[in-house]
Amino acid sequence: MKYYSTNKSVPEVSLMEAVTKGLAADKGLFMPERIDKFPAEFFENIHKLSFQEIAFEVAKKFFGEDVPEQTLKEIVYDTLNFDCPVVHVNDNIYSLELFHGPTLAFKDVGGRFMARLLGYFLKENNEEVNVLVATSGDTGSAVANGFLKVPGIRVFVLYPKGLVSEIQEKQFTTLGNNITALEIDGTFDDCQRLVKSAFMDRELNEAMVLTSANSINVARFLPQAFYYFNAYARLREQGVENDIVIAVPSGNFGNLTAGLFAKRMGLPVKRFVAANNENDIVYQYLQNGKYEPRPSIATIANAMDVGDPSNFARILDLYNHSHAAIATDMKGYRYSDAEIRQTIGEVYLNYGYTCDPHGAVGYRALEEDLQEYETGVFLETAHPAKFTATVEAVIGEGNVPLPVKLAEFMKGEKRSVKLGKDFEGFKKFLLNKVS
């Protein structure tokens, strides 16, 4: 399958080129040349399949023409050696728990899949690849752990100084080996700008092979479609027959874009809900049709603190830039820190379920949007223990036990390289790494 740029001013490329380049030469994001639909009978029997079996069928639609079937199956099954269960919270609302992977965040799915797919391609061409990833929280840990010790790959994680939780920071600053953490004196948007600028810099690209592991990379965001299909299957398994609405805590919009791809593939989801914190650029677009990026604002749902969501370019392309078409499939809501805290407290008190700040945004959007005849699913994107201080300040100290996986990370020693937000300093650092 070929991949084209959303800016449509450069030739189409192969999957291997799209994955290893990350960003198109015209600064656009890669899109598959087509999206194949599943037949109706696939959904009639989907509840009989396991998560891994479902994910393999979805993966074949995207990658089956470019990766041998047995190799692709091994990549999918090795990626998904953990579950993403659907948990009933109240009445007609369920949580899709995406925090059961090694770093306890939804990005484990895309990060692990991309690491394995890139590893397969590297065996084919024998190149050393440098992975650049900007993170506002969980992306860095998922990517770093997914790529840890993978031969032929060096990872540079850029994160905003003082704007990620201590646990999140420990998950990628304590690894060493082929992982380097870069502590940027700026915001997530500054980190993302540095990564994009690196891809466009001729001198850097002549000196080293660069790719991105942010959701701008097709191998990161497309696998996130897997768990939407799984959510549908598990609801059917539990006897749910209502129309399904899915609320997605939205930052860089890779997760929601993957959901819209799943819908285009035939997944019977009535609509998606973009649940925003105070970084509400896409919410405003849904209201008035104007996309107006602005500097991000720091909130307690920090993984969503994005002022210019990269993947919105894919959503625009998917819907031919039609505001009316996008607004048909997607609704938007936004919430303040105070409202997020209130929701964490109410869900815990009334239903005994602990949301992290991002999941709380998704839950609240469903509460506001859902009709009686519909069933809602919100994405619980990270374990609440990754935000212990915030969550326990609401529900009481000691009510968020630290999982063993996170406790092990906390024992490690933080190692990071401090850099400013200017591109020349970042470029000089990378060039000095060229062996």
The residues assigned a catalytic role are: 107
Q: What is the DSSP code (8-state) at residue 67?
A: S
| C-beta separation of 150 from 213 below 8 A | no
Between CA 239 and CA 384 the distance in angstroms is 28
Tokens representing residue 224 in the block: 């996130």
Tokens representing residue 291 in the block: 């996309």
Give the residue among 214, 284, 286 at the shortest CA–CA distance from 254: 214
Tokens representing residue 311 in the block: 């993947």
Q: Return the C-alpha torsion angle 257, 261, 263, 269, nearest 10.
A: -30
Between CA 227 and CA 216 the distance in angstroms is 19
Q: What is the DSSP code (8-state) at residue 413?
A: P
Q: Rg of the Cα trace of the chain?
A: 20
Angle at 258 between CA 326 and CA 120, to 5 degrees: 150
Between CA 106 and CA 255 the distance in angstroms is 9
Question: How far lies 95's CA from each of 81, 153, 355, 435, in Å?
Answer: 20, 35, 9, 47
| C-beta separation of 107 from 143 below 8 A | yes
| C-beta separation of 415 from 181 below 8 A | yes
